[in-house]
């Protein structure tokens, strides 16, 4: 049989680091297979889904702006994809299109690597209520966090997500961070940095409890101002690169076989690409 071919589709797609990650794993395992970025505009998305099998693809990743449309197109979805309403990993089973969302796995697996003890946190504060915040909240709830404050510039968007996830998630405004900091054990930022690297929320870290843990899922720049502030104040921190690497692993396993490893070498490879652009 021909060697398996996988894709990542999005619009635009040239920013994607997924080809670097999957090609590294293919080479490392000595597997014959390929992984390519394919630009697919919104109006061509459905045709692509109907015809990728004829082009010998076994499946692939889906990124912006297609994650919700991919969810709607799938005949079968994993439980976590159903919970998040978005799909980033596609494959075929008995000729049917199947979808998973691996962002929550990526978030949890990265914190397992970088913030030992995060699963014991009872209270968390999440900044930002976009698509990525959904996966973060899902992970935190699965880990058993009892109370999550979800703060967003557009408070209504945070309130919608809080309703979706139930009473353990409480919505608020970004300014609430000052009052909540003293009772927060785990801080997570999901708000993108601006073009010049600035971030819209600043936390007064002197108010956070001793032993608090701090994660950012943003990885450009790798050390965001949010993380830098927490690090300077002596807190344990986790950057967002590991989430990107870990979210790729379940797809690789489905298309090519074998669970790949998130190595330091892979981290350096992707980091070099981030710094180059
Ligand atoms: P969305 O566009 O869905 O959400 C963006 C969020 O940032 C919203 O909460 C938005 O608030 C907020 N925001 C943006 N600009 C500002 C601003 N100037 N002031 C205040 N709030 C602002 O993006 P995603 O959730 O998909 O992604 C967020 C970040 O996470 C990105 O940087 C992305 O690269 C990163 N990410 C990292 C992953 C990883 O694997 N490490 C995975 C997925 C995402 P509002 O609702 O008010 O507009």
Q: What residue ranges define each of the domains in the chain, with the CATH number in brackets?
A: 5-101+242-276 (3.40.50.10860), 105-239 (3.40.50.720)
Given this model, what pLDDT does residue 1 score?
A: 62
Number of residues assigned to the chain:
277
Report the alpha-carbon distance of residue 131 to residue 163 in Å, rounded: 15
DSSP state of 205: G
- To test the pocket of ligand 1, the residue of 129, 137, 190, 244 to mutate (highest count of ligand atoms within 8 Å of its CB) is 190
How far is the centre of ligand 1, averaged over its atoms, from the C-alpha of 252 (Å)?
A: 26
Q: What is the dihedral of CA 171, 172, 178, 179, to 10 degrees?
A: -70
Cβ count near 46 (within 10 Å): 12
Asked if residues 271 and 222 have their Cβ atoms less than 8 Å apart, the reply is yes
Residue nearest ligand 1's atom 12 by CA: 191
> What ipTM does this complex have?
0.99
The residue contributing the CA closest to ligand 1 atom 44 is 132
Supply the pLDDT for residue 155: 98
Q: Give residue-wise pLDDT tens across range 14-67.
A: 999 999 999 999 999 999 999 999 999 999 999 999 999 999 999 999 999 999
Tens of pLDDT, residues 79-120: 999 999 999 999 999 999 999 999 999 999 999 999 999 999
67 is catalytic: yes
* 195: confidence class by pLDDT, cuts 50, 70, 90: confident
Confirm or reject: Cβ of 88 under 6 Å from ligand 1: no
Q: Of the listed 5, 53, 67, 231, which one is catalytic?
A: 67
State the Cα–Cα distance between residues 23 and 19, nearest whole angstrom: 6
Q: For residue 175, how many other CB atoms are within 10 A of its CB?
A: 10
Q: pLDDT grade, residue 76 (50/70/90)?
A: very high
Q: Where are the alpha helices (DSSP H) in the chain?
A: 18-29, 45-51, 67-73, 79-84, 103-114, 131-143, 155-165, 177-180, 225-232, 241-256, 264-276
Residue numbering of the annotated binding site for NADP(+): 79, 128-132, 152-157, 217, 240
Percent share of the chain, pLDDT over 70: 100
Q: How far is CA 84 from CA 12, 78, 189, in A?
A: 23, 10, 18
How do residues 117-157 score in pLDDT, each as one tens digit? 999 999 999 999 999 999 999 999 999 999 999 999 999 99
Distance CA 109, CA 232 (A): 25
pLDDT band at 209 (very low <50, low <70, confident <90, very high): very high
Binding-site residue numbers are: 16-18, 63, 79, 88, 103, 128-132, 152-157, 217, 219, 240, 247
* Predicted local confidence at residue 92, as pLDDT: 97
Q: Mean pLDDT, to the nearest integer, of 243-268?
A: 97
Radius of gyration of the chain (CA): 19
* Residue 194: pLDDT band with limits 50, 70, 90: confident
Cα dist from 263 to 26, 79, 104, 108, whole Å: 14, 28, 20, 17
**Structural tokens at position 213:** 């843990």
Q: Distance between CA atoms of 233 and 227, rounded to whole angstroms?
A: 10
Residue 198 CB: number of other CB atoms within 10 A? 10
Angle of helix 155-165 versus helix 131-143 axis, rounded to 10: 40
C-alpha dist (Å) from residue 141 to 99, 107, 148, 153, 275: 22, 12, 8, 22, 33
Mean per-residue pLDDT of the chain: 96
Q: How far apart are CA 237 and CA 165, in angstroms?
A: 26
The pLDDT confidence band at residue 202, using thresholds 50, 70 and 90, is confident
């Amino acid at each position: 049989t021909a060697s398996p071919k996988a894709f990542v589709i999005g619009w635009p797609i040239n920013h994607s680091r997924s080809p670097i990650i999957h090609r590294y794993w293919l080479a490392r395992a000595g597997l014959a297979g390929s992984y390519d970025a394919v630009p697919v505009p919104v109006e061509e998305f459905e045709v692509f889904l109907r015809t990728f099998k004829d082009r010998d693809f076994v499946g692939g990743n889906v990124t912006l702006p297609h994650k919700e449309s991919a969810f709607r197109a799938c005949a079968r979805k994993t439980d976590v994809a159903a919970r998040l309403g978005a799909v980033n990993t596609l494959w075929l089973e008995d000729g049917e299109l199947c979808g998973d969302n691996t962002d929550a796995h990526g978030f949890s697996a990265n914190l397992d690597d970088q913030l030992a003890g995060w699963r014991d946190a009872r209270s968390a504060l999440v900044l930002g209520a976009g698509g990525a915040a959904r996966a973060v909240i899902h992970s935190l709830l699965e880990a058993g966090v009892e109370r999550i404050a979800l703060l967003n510039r557009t408070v209504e968007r945070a309130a919608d997500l809080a309703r979706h996830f139930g009473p353990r998630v409480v919505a608020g405004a970004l300014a609430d961070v000052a009052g909540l900091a003293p009772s927060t054990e785990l801080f997570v930022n999901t708000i993108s940095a601006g073009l010049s690297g600035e971030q819209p929320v600043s936390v007064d870290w002197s108010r956070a409890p001793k032993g608090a843990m701090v994660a950012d899922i943003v990885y450009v720049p790798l050390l965001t101002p949010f993380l830098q502030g927490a690090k300077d104040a002596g807190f344990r921190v986790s950057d967002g690169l590991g989430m990107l690497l870990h979210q790729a692993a379940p797809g690789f396993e489905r298309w090519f076989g074998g669970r790949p490893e998130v190595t330091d070498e892979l981290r350096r490879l992707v980091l070099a690409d981030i710094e180059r652009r």
